[in-house]
């Protein structure tokens, strides 16, 4: 005979196990922040950027890709080779902010 459904979790109620794992992971990261920063600084700029992008997947929500067709024929190329990637340590705070804002404009 078939079991009756009892309702389960209500919509929007987080899974307790998932919540516990996320909280534990957050504590692990917070407890090792100095080590993580030192490890990032020891990487080449291109590897550092790749690692930051990979780590951001755990913090920043993944957005769905959106195609824009504005009639323009303009092509945008992004090249992440060591020759074209600046050493971020050599940039001023204003230059870093300017580049971060440019990335935000492109991705928003």
Would residue 75 count as lying in a domain?
A: yes
pLDDT in the model for residue 82? 66
pLDDT tens-digit profile of 4-62? 777 777 777 778 888 888 888 888 888 999 998 999 999 999 999 998 888 888 777 77
43, 20, 24, 42: which is closest to 32 by C-alpha?
24
Token pair in block for residue 97? 């902010």
Would residue 14 count as lying in a domain?
A: no
Q: Supply the range of the domain harboring residue 102.
A: 63-108
Distance CA 108, CA 68 (A): 12
Would residue 105 count as lying in a domain?
A: yes
DSSP state, residue 85: S
Would residue 11 count as lying in a domain?
A: no
Would residue 107 count as lying in a domain?
A: yes
Distance CA 104, CA 93 (A): 16
Would residue 47 count as lying in a domain?
A: no
State how many domains the chain has: 1
pTM of the model: 0.41
Distance CA 38, CA 41 (A): 5
């Amino acid at each position: 005979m078939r079991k009756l459904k009892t309702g389960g979790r209500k919509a929007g109620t987080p899974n307790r196990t998932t919540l516990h794992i996320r909280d534990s992971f957050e504590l692990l990261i917070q407890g090792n922040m100095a080590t993580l920063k030192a490890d990032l600084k020891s990487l080449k700029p291109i590897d550092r950027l790749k690692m930051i992008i990979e780590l951001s997947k755990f913090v920043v929500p993944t957005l769905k890709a959106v195609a824009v067709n504005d009639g323009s024929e303009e092509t945008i190329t992004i090249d992440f080779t060591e020759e074209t990637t600046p050493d971020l340590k050599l940039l001023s705070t204003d230059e870093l902010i300017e580049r971060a804002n440019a990335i935000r404009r492109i991705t928003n």
